[in-house]
Structure 1
């Protein structure tokens, strides 16, 4: 009985410490995000690439604060696979982590996101200055046409487009169906597709306040030539690589 009591006390202490770490993280998260958003809004007149470097300093600080408070590290493999010019990045989607990390990591980059995010005061305004491709999810047909048109414009100036082809966050250990709009965009703009996978859902679980210590592994795969394959073949190739790398 005494042993059972000791285990209960130990578990309670672990829970309290985990709650404290998560609270500290989110306090810093708010400070860094709001500050970076305000600075970005004030510097709206700067060229996009310079403004994005400044804006994503907040992203970098959030990731470093996550490491310090919650002991979540990041290991990246496949850096040599990243092309120097434009490409379409196709990644699995598990948590909020990739939204912050990839915007900093792949810059200059543009993201596809739901238009409602731009309505958030200060944060949404700063997000607008990052020149995202904001779509209406309620109108999928027109959204795809918009992605192809606006995405091509951004790719032609050398930016990367980051797309989560599952369309929503999927629990870790699972991989949803991939939509083909990312592959279609790559074919239209004649740029390669870069498959990327990660296990962020192990440590930043959707809908959970507490964070799980450990290492997020970001794997960057070899590029897929969009000229040689059909849209469906590109999508399947990217999904197969991501699925294999997650095993």
Structure 2
């Protein structure tokens, strides 16, 4: 049954991404700005999350929304625990501000999905040219943050297995310090139901815990990232103690 449900959910995503991509491209062709295109993309992501709830039995329990910065133009860098694809779909669907992901440029070549994100105001980088890539992150990140778009990054860089911790890199805190905005740490237990690189998903609850914003003024990138890492990893142990018995 879990296999059938997972196949059905994948089919829903494949079938629906085509018309939504066409809608994004049409909005762009007609002169619609980034905000209009983002709303279409966000609607598709929310649809995929709703389909996961109905077909896969995956529900979301969110705590800490009140901690998010207030104000239409208040910038923030969201630093999120990364365990599966689920949170990449979930975050834009639940956040009150438009989000800009930092992603590898290879995704732009993925049919429909890549065409969609290429039409959005996000930051795609060449990971093979790290110095140039980070300059681009800083330049575009400051521009986006100045207009109230929140930049979202996964400080571990890639998905980690349940109960594991990757190497936290300081790119997100460097951007926050350069732009003068706070960082918001977020813990997500998605691997309980949607394991890394797994096709078959399981029903259950994904806990999302949003921490209080941490000011970046006067901080050093590594020091600030150490604080983010400590909060996220402690929160992961609180939310999913079975994964950290060792």
Q: TM-score, normalised by structure 2?
A: 0.91
1:236 and 2:226 matched: yes
Q: Say which is worse superposed, 93-102 or 43-52, in terms of deviation.
A: 43-52
- Residue number among 30, 34, 37 corresponding to 1:48 in the alignment: 34
Query: Is 1:33 aligned to residue 23 of structure 2?
Result: no
Given that residues 197 and 242 in structure 1 are in contact (C-alpha distance below 8 angstroms), is that contact kept between their aligned partners in structure 2? yes
Residues paired across the two proteins, number: 231
Q: Pick the aligned partner of 1:203 from 182, 185, 193.
A: 193
SS of 2:107's partner is helix
Alignment check: 8 A CA contact 1:70 1:212 kept: yes
Alpha-carbon distance, 1:130 to partner: 1.6
- Cα root mean square deviation, aligned: 1.2
Say whether the 8 Å CA contact 2:84–2:197 is kept in structure 1.
no
| Counterpart position of 2:208 | 218
Residue 78 (structure 1) aligned to one of 50, 55, 64: 64
**1:126 CA displacement:** 1.2
- Whole-angstrom CA distance in 2 between matches of 1:197 and 1:228: 25
1:189-245 Cα offsets, whole Å, 9 max, x none, are 000000011011111112221101100001100000000421112101111110011
Contact 1:33 / 1:59 at 8 angstroms: preserved in 2?
no
Tell me which of 86, 99, 103 is aligned to 2:92.
Answer: 103
Q: Deviations over 1:50-99 (max 9, x none)?
A: 22112211100100100111101001000111112210000111111111
Return the alpha-carbon distance in structure 2 between the equivalents of residues 179 and 111 of structure 1. Answer: 16
SS in 1 for 2:8: helix
- Residue equivalent to 2:244: none
CA distance in 1, matches of 2:169, 2:18: 33
> What is residue 132 of structure 2 aligned with on the other side?
142
1:159-196 alpha-carbon deviations (Å, 9 max, x no partner): 10000011111111112111111001001100000001
- Other-structure match for 1:89: 78
Structure 2 residue runs without a partner (length 5+): 238-246
Of the structure 1 ranges 32-41 and 111-120, higher mean CA displacement relative to structure 2 is found in 32-41
Query: Is it true that 1:124 corresponds to 2:114 in the alignment?
Result: yes
> Which one has a bigger Cα radius of gyration?
1
| Mapped contact 1:39–1:55 kept (Cα < 8 A) | no
Any unmatched runs of 5+ in structure 1?
1-16
**Is 1:154 matched with 2:140?**
no
Structure 1 residue 129, shift from structure 2 partner? 1.7
Q: Give the TM-score taking structure 1 as reference length.
A: 0.90
Alpha-carbon offset, residue 33 of structure 1: 2.1
Any conservation in 2 of the 1:41–1:122 contact (CA below 8 Å)?
no
